[in-house]
Amino acid sequence: MKKLVIFDMDGLLIDTERIHDWSWEEAFKRSNLDIPTSERQTLMGLGHSHYMNQIRKLVGDDELADDVRNIQRDIYHGYFRENKPDIKAGVVELLLELRAKGVVTAVATSTRQASAEAYLRSVDLFDLFDYRIYGDLVVETKPNPALYNKVVSDLNINKENALILEDSYHGVKAANNAGIDVIWVKDFVDISNRNDISYLHSFDSLVEARETIMEIVDNYDMKEIVELIRAFIKERDWDQFHSPVNLAKSISIEAAELLECYQWSDDADVEKVKDELADIMIYALQLTDKYGLDIETVIIEKMRKNALKYEVSKAKGNSKKYTEL
């Protein structure tokens, strides 16, 4: 289960990347610099320190790089003094759905705090996040994982319980460097041909991504299920009734009730079957937990034993017990 979803800002929450790219294009033109589109777009998703290094590489001169940056800043901020950024489709609906399920929402952006908070407030997104972190509050920005590492550290949430949503190469790279699952939501620059990054899924918009995101958020692993069962039992002080022998008896009783679902027909009520199977699994997980066993390991070990007992060449299509094969 994912307890935390971390959002990038530019290009994911608000439609700023096109203006960002346009402002760089204009700045280079005004500086009489012919920078190819593919090289200019390497600036997307970078924080201040990283893109200043990149600009220096592109123009080959430190002083000129500073001049270009100042021109770009004036163009970019000048645009947003006159125009409010647009919210990307599906953002508000997804945030509200996540918060309704108790999932922590965070925004982690390389943009400086003053600018980022102004943008978020201007489109009424600021209060939809439980946590916010900005590029000038960490030593290094994306693709360095510092932003994402600080989010999970400050919120005391394990990385395996977090999910990142990113639109840029450098953002996805930062998520990879942090060791946190990430979904790439396409925006301005296509990064599908980059072989040095990985992501769980890619989508054209958050609208398309919503269903998968919610499935991932709701997907409990076996350890989390065991923790839920433990908490359920502890709250009711039932552990005193759940000795190993009582759990084994309960499994037998639930198995008999499962069999009863098929008493009159092979076409059993699916809802009843589902309930009985769940009860059997709950008691089985409690029993393995009593002995400090990991159910996934137990099942894998037993499958390996079964594979040795029932060789495919002998057991295929045959219902006999392994001792009779």
**pLDDT single digits (tens) 157-186:** 999 999 999 998 989 999 999 999 999 999
Would you state the structure tokens that stand for residue 270, as one six-digit string? 């699916």
Same-domain pairing of 57 and 111? no
Q: CATH no. for residue 314?
A: 1.10.287.1080
* Total domains, the chain: 3
How many CB atoms are located within 10 Å of the residue 275 CB? 15
Query: HSE (CB half, 13 Å, CA atoms) of 116?
Result: 21
**DSSP structure string for 294-323:** -HHHHHHHHHHHHHHHS-HHHHTT--S-GG
Same-domain pairing of 190 and 249? no
**pLDDT single digits (tens) 236-294:** 999 999 999 999 999 999 999 999 999 887 788 899 999 999 999 999 999 999 999 99
Same-domain pairing of 248 and 199? no
The pTM assigned to this predicted structure is 0.69
Domain of 127 in residue numbering reads as 4-13+87-218
CA-to-CA separations, 161 to 5, 98, 103, 128, 248, in angstroms, rounded? 9, 14, 10, 20, 32
Q: Rounded to 5 degrees, what are φ and ψ at 263?
A: -60, -40
Among 1-15, 32-46, 269-283, 288-302, where is mean pLDDT lowest? 32-46
Same-domain pairing of 8 and 135? yes
Q: How confident is the model at residue 45 (pLDDT cuts 50, 70, 90)?
A: low
Same-domain pairing of 138 and 9? yes
CA-to-CA separations, 52 to 68, 93, 121, in angstroms, rounded? 10, 36, 27
